[in-house]
């Protein structure tokens, strides 16, 4: 079984930088609630993008079933309408064995997504930290 890594960029709706605090608030709710509602969420991180009214969200799920729960019944479903009021998803990147159902559902949610079957443990000679562990 391989983990699923999801990295997303959410940008505040144009013309209103005051929404950044609201965006942070809602993503903090997602992270806080997810740790009690979603036992398959291994890691949750949120970072403010320097110089932009945007956040980078990184989530790691134990497997595709846990990601499915997150999107369809968990905190993503619970808070999506609130987050959509203040920001738009600019880009999603899924890494790992993401099922066809998840790919289809992400389209229904209008998430601009790309996918890689290579999980976070993928390495390449001379790679960067973004590639996972680097080889010397």
Radius of gyration of the chain (CA): 15
Strand 41-48 and strand 113-116: the pairing is unpaired
Burial (Cβ within 10 Å: 0-12, 13-18, ≥19) of residue 3: buried
Least confident of 45-54, 93-102, 103-112, 115-124: 115-124
What's the mean pLDDT when you consider all of the chain? 83
Which has more pLDDT, 48 or 104?
A: 48
Take residue 83 and report the two structure tokens written for it.
Answer: 């987050």
Element of type H or E holding 100? helix 100-108
> Would you state the pLDDT for residue 121?
54
Take residue 78 and report the two structure tokens written for it.
Answer: 């619970």
Q: Domains (ranges, CATH) in the chain?
A: 4-131 (3.30.70.100)
> Would you state the pLDDT for residue 95?
87
> Would you state the pLDDT for residue 49?
93
For 16-71, the pLDDT digits (tens) are: 778 999 999 999 999 999 988 999 999 999 999 999 999 999 999 998 889 889 98
CB 31, CB 44: distance < 8 Å: yes
Q: Single out the residue of 117, 118, 89 nearest to residue 103, CA to CA.
A: 117
Q: What average pLDDT does this structure show over 83-109?
A: 86
In angstroms, the CA 53 to CA 56 distance is 11
pLDDT exceeds 60 at position 131: no
């Amino acid at each position: 079984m391989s983990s699923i890594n999801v990295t997303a960029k959410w940008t505040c709706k144009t013309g209103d930088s005051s929404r950044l605090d609201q965006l942070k608030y809602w993503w903090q709710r997602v992270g806080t609630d997810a740790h009690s509602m979603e036992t398959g969420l291994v890691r949750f991180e949120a970072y403010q993008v320097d110089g932009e009214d945007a956040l980078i969200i990184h989530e790691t799920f134990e497997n595709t079933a846990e990601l499915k729960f997150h999107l369809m019944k968990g905190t993503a479903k619970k808070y999506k309408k609130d987050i959509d009021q203040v920001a738009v998803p600019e880009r999603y990147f899924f890494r790992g064995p993401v099922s066809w159902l998840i790919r289809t559902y992400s389209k229904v949610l209008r998430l601009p997504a790309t996918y890689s079957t290579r999980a976070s443990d993928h390495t390449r000679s001379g790679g960067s930290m973004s590639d996972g562990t680097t080889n010397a």
